[in-house]
Amino acid sequence: MSGTGISTPDLTDDHAGARALELQWRNFGGIAAFGGAAVTVKCFEDNSLVKSLVQEPGEGRVIVVDGGGSLRRALLGDMLGADAVKNGWAGLVIRGAVRDVDELATMALGVKALGCCPRKTDKRGEGQQDVPVSIGGVIISPGDYVYADNNGVIASPEPLL
């Protein structure tokens, strides 16, 4: 789900099981507050799996990418962002970098990342999908629920809205 009905402070106040990802996130998308069921990716400086995922039906889900925290290569840019919008993804949470930030900011897509970098990744076909990822002290499993706004990113094994 995306939209202004998401407040991570309110969700953490109301749900003891909500876990905050303890990182300083930056908002790069045109939608600041978003949430949905997680599809997880673990990759390092290779966005091959992200590229294939955004071309699938998103059904309001959120792609959670553990990019190892690297700011040397961007795991998302304007072309993949446009595919994500077209295919109905609510957003992406990326422990890593993005690029084409001016274009991403105009898209109806939530994008939280650690930073930006102009360099694209190599496409080596590496990484794992639908595996538990550990981001900011929180383990996120496929199908967990992720919510994000300008206050941060939280996760829960159950829907909070």
- Residues annotated in a binding site for Mg(2+): 100
* β strands within 28-109, DSSP E: 34-42, 62-66, 91-98
Known binding site for substrate: residues?
Answer: 77-80, 99
> With 0-12 CB in 10 A as exposed, 13-18 as middle and 19+ as buried, what is 56?
middle
The tokens for 140 are 């996120």
The tokens for 92 are 């992406």
Q: Report helix, strand or coil for 137.
A: coil
Known binding site: residues?
Answer: 77-80, 99-100
Q: Which amino acid is at 160?
A: L
* Nearest in space to 77 (alpha carbons), one of 104, 107, 96: 104
User: For residue 113, what are the CA distances in angstroms to 12, 38, 150, 159?
Assistant: 21, 15, 12, 22
